[in-house]
Amino acid sequence: MALPSTGEMTGTEKSVSAERDDLSVEMYGIWKRFPGVIANQDVNLDLRVGEVHSLLGENGAGKSTLMHILSGIYRPDAGTIKIAGKTVDFRSPAQAIEAGIGMVHQHFKLVETMTVAENIHLGWNETPRNISGDILARRTEKLSQEFGLYVDPNTKIWQLSTGEQQRVEILRVLARGAKVLILDEPTSVLTPAEAEELFKGVRTLAAGGRTVVLISHKLEEVMAVSDRITVLRNGKVVARRMKQECDQNTLATLLIGQEMVSRLQRNERPFGKPVLEISNLSALNDRGLPALLELNMVLREGEILGIAGVSGNGQVELGEVITCLRPVQKGVIRIEGKDLTGKTPAHSVEAGVGHIPEDRVNVGLAAALSVADNAILREYKSKEIARGIVINSREAFLFAKKLVEQANVRVPNTRVLVRHLSGGNQQRLLANREIRIATHVLIAVHPTQGLDIGATEVLRNLLIKYRNEGGAVLLISEDLDEILVMSDRIAVMYNGRITGEFNADQADRSQIGLLMGGGKTSASLSASFVKEQP
Ligand SMILES: Nc1ncnc2c1ncn2[C@@H]1O[C@H](COP(=O)(O)OP(=O)(O)O)[C@@H](O)[C@H]1O
Ligand SMILES: [Mg+2]
């Protein structure tokens, strides 16, 4: 199809010529409430032209919300936004992009079955009508060169790696003339090599006069790429610094705060013999990337080992590998000296491993089944209840009734479906069922996530009681307070490895925070102690 050659490149040329617009951003007194939580409280933020500005904060600190406000997705409850000195009030992301603000989200919004070029031009008001694939490809090629972000225009999205898909998302936003580019936790989906590549691109864009906002909770990358850093905690700005004024230690303290937590009642008893021993364990995540890298760990009787870390550093995979839900690539898992590597979940139950998984409703329990069915779900081996596939329904009923009473699950009868229970009731049912199985080890992954204070208290006490009676608990939690309150020993997990270890009475919040963000401390050295154990 013949289009005049002058017309076909307008989109690209315009974004080149508009390059030098100076788009400073000021946000004043921004408030945003959601039901039950204040996501942003009186936040001030300024972005200077040509800087890489990191928004640093723990999960839930309010980083994404603040940037959703700037990019027109949410309107603030109160506050003012000025762009290049002029007050704006965006009603939609389209208005924000019109003003030069573009955001790349944590979850991509590309159409998998279309090509790179088609995705870049999709829904863009400067896409010429009735245009051939060739022209779209050429326009894409040109954008790609302009911004130094290489992608093959004719490849379908589903054929690309995550790093390449992200590049397409960034190009989409830049093509529409974004002068302020917001990247929400961009490295959480990338390999280290891809992340490095991205940061090079980010520095180039900033050098070319664009402003880049990097949302992150990783200290190392924030220190590597930023010019300035704003730290958010519980919806408020707690610090605003030039990169040169910061080191990872001070940032870690700012990130997690200094509130002290009280420790739960526990009896003082010496730890027993090792029950769970893991050596050189490697495994892949669902995307086929390394999730665990030659990890070593020992857990003893009567001990709670807390695994601290930001989600996505291999913790969930660790729980799955120990309970034989995920294959081992390399290494050995032993329970009481017996090799559990490469076995099935039934073997792990037999070996005395209980599991409170992260997803209690879909993985731990069967939401569509009754309380009674869920209570007996793991009784493969019980002679009273099951002979082969034949269930003795009377015994099953009595068993379920007893477990429900013991767990203090408040239901009118055991025929009620699990999905109708409150989170607290579900978790008590699951935890009591698993503790019964866990003659040696209990793996508890984010066990109190989403529970109210009362239900949390009950569950924590249940774990402590199990430990006091000689059980061994591997407690995986993103909640550092929970780790500090519950654990006898604390290990920090980062990038599939244990990067530091502390006895709970010597645990130092800011050191743990530093390790969680990928920093290094003297405690990293003591991690080698774990390695040398047989
Ligand atoms: N659409 C929403 N509805 C209700 N609560 C929300 C919504 N978006 C965010 N929140 C809550 O607001 C708080 C801040 O969230 P967010 O800005 O996503 O934090 P961050 O990006 O720093 O992890 C959290 O407590 C979160 O649960
Ligand atoms: Mg976020």
Q: From ligand 1's centre to the CA of 62, what distance in Å?
A: 6
Which of the listed residues 34, 106, 215, 230 should we mutate to test ligand 1's pocket, taking the one with most ligand atoms within 8 A of CB?
34
The three-state (H, E, C) secondary structure of 338-354, written as one string: EECCCCCHHHHHHCCEE
pLDDT at 6: 34
Least distant ligand from the CA of 66: 1
- Domains of the chain: residue spans and CATH: 24-100+208-255 (3.40.50.300), 103-178 (no CATH), 274-363+439-532 (3.40.50.300)
Q: Which of 122, 178, 119 is nearest to 146 (CA)?
A: 178
Measured from the Cα of 64, ligand 1's closest atom is: 21
Q: Whose CA is nearest to atom 11 of ligand 1?
A: 39
pLDDT along the chain (534 residues), means of 10: 36 39 90 91 96 91 96 97 95 94 91 93 79 87 89 92 91 94 90 87 94 92 95 93 88 67 66 95 93 96 94 91 95 95 92 92 89 86 72 84 88 88 90 94 92 77 92 93 91 94 87 84 46 38
Q: Render the burial of 298-318: b for 16+ CB within 10 Å, e for the rest.
A: bbbbbbbbbbbbbeebbbbbb
Q: From ligand 2's centre to the CA of 215, what distance in Å?
A: 8
Measured from the Cα of 68, ligand 1's closest atom is: 17
Least distant ligand from the CA of 55: 1
Least distant ligand from the CA of 232: 1
How far apart are alpha carbons 188 and 202 in whole angstroms?
A: 16
Which of the listed residues 32, 54, 65 should we mutate to test ligand 1's pocket, taking the one with most ligand atoms within 8 A of CB?
65
pLDDT at 161: 87
Q: From ligand 1's centre to the CA of 32, what distance in Å?
A: 10
Pocket of ligand 1 (CB under 6 A): 34, 37, 39, 57, 59-65
pLDDT at 261: 41
- Please give the structure tokens belonging to residue 286: 């669902």
pLDDT at 181: 97
Residue 157 contacts residue 165 (beta carbons within 8 Å): yes
How far apart are alpha carbons 463 and 199 in whole angstroms?
A: 43
Measured from the Cα of 232, ligand 1's closest atom is: 22
Least distant ligand from the CA of 74: 1
pLDDT at 2: 35
Q: From ligand 1's centre to the CA of 125, what distance in Å?
A: 31
Residue 70 contacts residue 101 (beta carbons within 8 Å): yes
How far apart are alpha carbons 299 and 348 in whole angstroms?
A: 16
pLDDT at 453: 64
Measured from the Cα of 55, ligand 1's closest atom is: 22
Q: From ligand 1's centre to the CA of 172, what distance in Å?
A: 25
Q: From ligand 1's centre to the CA of 232, what distance in Å?
A: 13
